[in-house]
Amino acid sequence: MEIGTDIKRAANYLNDGDVVAIPTETVYGLAASILSEKGIQKIYQLKGRPNNNPLIVHVASIEEISKWVEVWPEKAKILADAFMPGPITLVLPKSNKIPHYVTSGQDTVGIRVPNHPLFVELLKSLPAPLAAPSANPSNATSATQAKHVVSYFKNKDLPYVLDGGACTNGLESTIVGFEKNEVVIYRVGAITIEQIERWVGKVKRATTKKHTLTPGMFTRHYAPKTPLIMTDDLDAYTKQYPEAHVAILYTGKKKKSSNAKITYINLSESDNLEEVGQKLYATLLALDEQSYDALLIQPFPSTDLGITLNDRLTRATAKK
Ligand code: TXA
Ligand code: MG
């Protein structure tokens, strides 16, 4: 496995139908050309991903989207103009130029225009869009730095990791669909529901029952290996398990521990949830390398990015 910033080298592997890890503003992805069935199958095999879970297609510009979708609802156009390039994925009826193996046989495609200069330059140099899921084994915490990808796939057949530094958002894109005239949020993400509603009015959140095929919604996801516990009452937990070595993730004024068994990890001194989003996965992955018995965190207020953070934490704490 090679790691570097060489776009030509990445493009060569992709043009050969192979898989390359790429940086985005949200999380790293494992990319292959939508025209390479071999490359797409390799993505599923590298991740251990069930093949009924469709991939997001990444294009270099909003204009490019029109080539790959059949219909552009008015509200989708409004959201594209408002948020692209950026961390939003639109689910639209796909054109038949997108092979069925990219969308797991579905008639829709999740499509997005990323906002990462290195990745956009790579896309512009290629003859076709790139399909890419997050660059982690299925259900594990997403990678937000090249070194996370390396540690996940170092013993696997992944030839190149394009290193674009640490992801600036650090949380996956918001996935939005259009059903009749309604805007439906399939996955909350880096763009908040409030931001979207400012442009298109009230939206609906998809329920798990109806949308079982959107596996961002499978219950357990984004999980570190160390047990992660989300609770409003941290004291109750540390009192119940006085022998446990725990790390407590928090925001706000710096805390110092007077108990050798408790380590405090600050995610943002200014309570800035964007900063928390940027750091969350990297912090979980770093703590996973140490031998804590548990990681503890309080839920965030349920508005704006707090909704996304709570969603990821809820899934990461869910039982298998
Ligand atoms: O920020 C992101 O979206 C990152 C970066 C790499 O672009 N990608 C990402 O991909 O998070 P992945 O595969 O880990 O999650 C994509 C989610 C999956 O839950 C998948 O089921 C859903 O998007 N999805 C993809 N295509 C869809 C479609 N046509 N209809 C409904 N859901 C779809
Ligand atoms: Mg993922």
Residues with CB under 6 A from ligand 1: 24, 26-27, 29, 53-56, 87, 89, 91, 103, 106, 108-110, 132-134, 172-173, 175, 186, 214-216
Ligand nearest to the CA of 137: 2
**Quick check: 188 pLDDT over 80?**
yes
Q: Whose CA is nearest to atom 10 of ligand 1?
A: 133
Nearest residue to 42 via CA among 20, 64, 66, 69:
20
Lowest mean pLDDT among 24-28, 164-168, 287-291: 287-291
What pTM value is reported for the model? 0.96
pLDDT for the residue numbered 319: 65
Tokens of 104: 């797991």
CATH architecture assignment, domain 228-317: 3-Layer(aba) Sandwich (3.40)
Percent of the chain with pLDDT over 90: 88
**Quick check: 320 pLDDT over 80?**
no
Tokens of 47: 């991740």
**Quick check: 158 pLDDT over 70?**
yes
Atom of ligand 1 nearest to the CA of 89: 3
Ligand nearest to the CA of 24: 1
Section 295-309 average pLDDT: 97
Q: Which CATH fold would you assign to the domain 2-205?
A: DHBP synthase (3.90.870)
**Which residue ranges does the chain devote to CATH 3.90.870.10?**
2-205
Give the type of residue at 42.
K
**Which residue ranges does the chain devote to CATH 3.40.50.11030?**
228-317
pLDDT for the residue numbered 214: 55
Q: DSSP secondary structure string, 210-245?
A: TTTT-GGGSSS-SB-SS-EEE-S-HHHHHHH-TT--
Pocket test for ligand 1, best of 71, 113, 139, 175 (most atoms within 8 A of CB): 175
The pLDDT tens digits of the residues spanning 216-272 come to 555 567 788 899 999 999 989 989 999 999 999 999 999 988 899 999 999 999 999
pLDDT for the residue numbered 72: 94
Look over the chain and give the mean of its residue pLDDT values, rounded to a whole number. Answer: 94
Q: How confident is the model at residue 318 (pLDDT cuts 50, 70, 90)?
A: confident
Ligand nearest to the CA of 89: 1
Pocket test for ligand 1, best of 43, 56, 83 (most atoms within 8 A of CB): 56
Section 32-47 average pLDDT: 98
Section 185-213 average pLDDT: 87
pLDDT for the residue numbered 212: 46
The pLDDT tens digits of the residues spanning 74-120 come to 999 999 999 999 999 999 999 999 999 999 999 999 999 999 999 99
Q: How confident is the model at residue 177 (pLDDT cuts 50, 70, 90)?
A: very high
pLDDT for the residue numbered 207: 74
Section 139-161 average pLDDT: 97
d(CA 189, CA 91): 14
| CB-CB contact of 45 with 30 (8 Å) | no
Section 27-32 average pLDDT: 98
| CB-CB contact of 216 with 187 (8 Å) | yes
pLDDT for the residue numbered 215: 52
